[in-house]
A and B are shown apart, each in its own frame.
Chain A
């Protein structure tokens, strides 16, 4: 069976990318003045807004559990706008369905892993992620956006949490020996719809790079379909390379963003 991204157009995918090429990533930090931190990220046609409120005094439900806690509480909301689907269909509920609840949980785990929570004892950090347009790899982009919003809010984190997805076509599974590259990085919506397995990983690329350990760096795995265990390790390595590339791009954008504040310090001296 021929899939859309089958490598037959001179080794290129349907949208003209090479198999392990990322889409264009564009971002803005500090898009809202009301929130403590905010970020807008576009990866190809996937567009996501993330906002961070806090750390602040816990309010509402979290209040009872927080009084004894020595660590801060992280609250995540992952929702996709009703208009975020491309093709003329509308989502019924922006949040609260199983899929977005699971994504919220995974996002919370990822953020808890990078935030130095012991610095935020008895306080609460709210992270809201809104998907404005879906075009594949939403969860990974959401993680990147949330990380940027945390940085914008000045919240102490260990490293960037970077999400990257890798997709293997069903038809090509098990045909590894023909010398062709069967995995594609950062799949878009059309490629995700093909019969395939998508693996989303979230990693701390910097730490991975310098410690070279195999354990405890990948924060969440997500795979819709079945994947043979022997395939996992090579996929992971390729996706980690993608994470590192994304980190480089994002890191540069953050440094550029910091330039606008330099005027404040210039006059201080």
Chain B
């Protein structure tokens, strides 16, 4: 039983835990996926290569070490968990938050096992100068980016210990100004050619490969010639804010139902959500409805 206390100012929804909505829905698949769980034997044959999510025990038996479906590429066997920290790959677009300013580098939280590094030498300095970084640049690092700032960057390389090195050498990367950041599982981001999308409703969407999603509120093209360190802090209009809020609720709803996020799925969900108002999109039934409608349009 749902109790809703509706007054003019507030609209609370209180429900019992037993009335929880199950956000997952079945999908008819052609082939049944085979899941492996930790410790389960995959193969005793020695002629397989062990990939991620597997290990070989003392008897030489290949076993799974995480829970998920099996992936086989020729002789390489790997088990891929659905929910995990971000495993970086070179060329990925990521969104991160600065956690620390060090000498010659910033430390960035990118949802990976270790904080990523953004070297001073791999950013564009304001004014587009290309030169060796001097001591003065090191001293003024905090002027460009300080703790808590959100950035968008690309993975440049992976260090020996598995941490990532980022760069913002292209003008589309850099500091993010006004908008909403969401965290979803990295597995839910669909790998595509481009992760920057200017949606038809005017908002700009960045689906970071690390599971961080950015909904930008700047609806006008910004001049990024100054290395992307300036923030556009002009006032965002009410209708633009509403578009951002609606997008946020749609994306969270899709993520709850484990639908892959891409520009298509987000646009579909946005369109399907128009029959509800933004606040209603937080209700589990509505989220499930939007997710179902989106899924239907996606499989067509």
Contacts and interface: CB of A to CB of B under 8 A. Distances in A.
A157 B65 contact: yes
Given A158-B39, A159-B39, A55 B258 contact: no
Nearest to B35: A258
A159 B295 CA distance: 36
B162 A267 contact: no
Contact of A120 (B59, B68, B113): B113
Contact of A155 (B58, B66, B114): B66
A87 interface: no
Contacts of B179: none
A36 B85 contact: yes
Contacts of A122: 114, 161
A65 interface: no
Residue from B55, B65, B109, B187 having most chain A Cβ neighbours under 10 A: B65
Given A57-B115, A123-B113, A207 B24 contact: no
Nearest to B111: A56
Interface in A18-59: 30, 36-37, 54-57
A173 B26 CA distance: 53
B24 A260 contact: yes
Contact of B258 (A152, A159, A263): A263
Chain B interface size, under 10 / 10 to 19 / 20 to 34 / 35 or more: 35 or more
Interface in B59-115: 59, 61, 63, 65-69, 81-85, 99, 107, 109, 113-115
A222 interface: no
A159 B40 CA distance: 8
Interface in A136-152: 151-152
A264 to B, nearest CB: 5
Contacts of A157: 38-39, 65-66
Nearest to A72: B113
Task: Report which residue of B66, B113, B190, B299 has the largest number of chain A beta carbons within 10 angstroms of its beta carbon.
Answer: B113
Contact of B260 (A153, A211, A251, A267): A267
Nearest to A123: B113
Given A116-B65, A258-B35, A266 B83 contact: no
Nearest to B22: A260
Given A157-B65, A204-B39, A266-B27, A121 B161 contact: yes
Interface string B7-44: 00000000000000000110101000101011111000
A258 B38 CA distance: 13
B57 interface: yes
Contacts of A56: 85, 113-114
Contact of A151 (B59, B67, B113): B67
A204 B67 CA distance: 16
A19 B37 CA distance: 30
Nearest to B188: A264
A268 B67 contact: no
Contacts of A210: 41, 59, 61
Nearest to B255: A33
Interface string B193-211: 0000000000000000000
Interface of A: 30, 36-37, 54-57, 116, 120-123, 151-160, 204, 206-207, 210-211, 251, 254-255, 258-268
Interface of B: 24-25, 27, 29, 33, 35, 37-41, 53, 55, 57-59, 61, 63, 65-69, 81-85, 99, 107, 109, 113-115, 161-162, 187-188, 190, 257-260, 295, 298-299
13 contacts: A36-B83, A55-B114, A56-B85, A121-B162, A153-B84, A156-B53, A156-B66, A210-B59, A255-B37, A263-B24, A264-B187, A267-B259, A267-B299
